[in-house]
């Protein structure tokens, strides 16, 4: 019986691609670098914002110092715009309401900087009942390292078969597997079905409420 869900944030609970792309393109333009079309950002994101900036920079400019410098500018710009266009995906609020009704707890594990993760959840889900919300913290590795999962589950009396990890990319699937958990790939996010299958997702769903087909059959 499933008792606990660990959700990714970007591409899973919320569509944040427009605000991310707008903020990165803004700082690229400010520095005289070429901007990227929106479609590119679906593959730039997923491994944290430092990696996002690294991927967006020209190859010959991807030095540690330049990545850090441009990332700092991005963080400042994004802090002003992270809720300009970002919204929950259709069906997410209904999904969370039903989880509440069933007494199934849920958390967020994101590679997005922790402060932005907290602010987006609190801004878009003001009455949220998320058990734990964790984003990228300076002292911790990014997903697919499973430490974020261990931190969320610390002290909880749960067995592995009572937990599901839900995300939209291979990073999320690998994170779940690295924590010895089964993973659900969602098709409404940033990546495609092929990537999720190749990552080994045990389940793939195309709409949020389809998660209950898995829960009901476990």
The pLDDT of residue 33 is above 80? yes
Is 70 in the same domain as 134?
no
Q: How far apart are CA 102 and CA 207, in angstroms?
A: 19
- Kindly state whether residues 172 and 132 are assigned to the same domain: yes
Q: What is the CATH number of the domain that holds 51?
A: 1.10.150
Residues 123 and 189 in one domain: yes
Q: Residues 95, 181: one domain? A: yes
β-bridge mates for residue 184, sequence order = 166, 203
What is the count of structural domains for the chain?
2
Q: Do 66 and 23 reside in the same domain of the chain?
A: yes
Bridging pattern class, strands 133-136 and 163-167: unpaired
In the block, which residue shows the tokens 């209904």? 94
Question: What is the mean predicted confidence (pLDDT) over 82-101?
Answer: 97
Q: Are residues 141 and 103 in the same domain?
A: yes
- For residue 154, the 8-state DSSP code is T
| 30 and 129, same domain (yes or no) | no
For residue 98, the domain's CATH number is 3.40.50.1000
Residue 184: its H or E element? strand 182-186
Same domain, 93 and 50: no
Question: Does residue 36 sit in the same domain as residue 136?
Answer: no
Does the bond joining 197 to the residue before it have cis omega, within 30 degrees of 0? no
Query: With 80 as the cut, is the pLDDT of residue 218 above it?
Result: no
Domain range spanning residue 136? 4-15+86-216
The per-residue pLDDT for 128 is 78
**What is the spatial distance between Cα 71 and Cα 124, in angstroms, rounded to a whole number?**
25
Give the Cα-Cα-Cα angle 62, 198, 160 (nearest 5 degrees): 100
Mean pLDDT for all residues in the chain: 96
CA 72 to chain centre: 21
């Amino acid at each position: 019986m499933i008792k606990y869900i660990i959700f990714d944030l970007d591409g899973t609970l919320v569509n944040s691609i427009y605000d991310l792309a707008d903020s990165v393109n803004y700082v690229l333009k400010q520095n005289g670098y070429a901007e990227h079309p929106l479609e590119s950002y679906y593959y730039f994101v997923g491994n944290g914002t430092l990696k996002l900036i690294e991927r967006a920079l020209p190859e010959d400019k991807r030095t540690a110092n330049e990545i850090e410098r441009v990332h700092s500018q991005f963080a400042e710009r994004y802090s002003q715009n992270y809720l300009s266009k970002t919204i929950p995906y259709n069906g997410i609020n209904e999904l969370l309401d039903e989880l509440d009704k069933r007494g199934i707890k849920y958390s967020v594990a994101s590679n997005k900087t922790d402060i932005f993760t907290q602010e987006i959840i609190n801004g878009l889900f003001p009455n949220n009942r998320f058990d734990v919300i964790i984003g990228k913290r300076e002292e911790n590795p990014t997903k697919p390292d499973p430490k974020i999962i261990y931190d969320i589950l610390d002290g909880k009396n749960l067995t592995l078969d009572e937990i599901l990890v839900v995300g939209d990319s291979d990073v999320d699937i690998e994170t779940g597997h690295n924590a010895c958990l089964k993973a659900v790939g969602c098709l409404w996010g940033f990546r495609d079905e092929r990537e999720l299958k190749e990552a080994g997702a045990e389940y793939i769903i195309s709409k949020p409420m389809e998660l209950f087909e898995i829960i009901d059959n476990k």
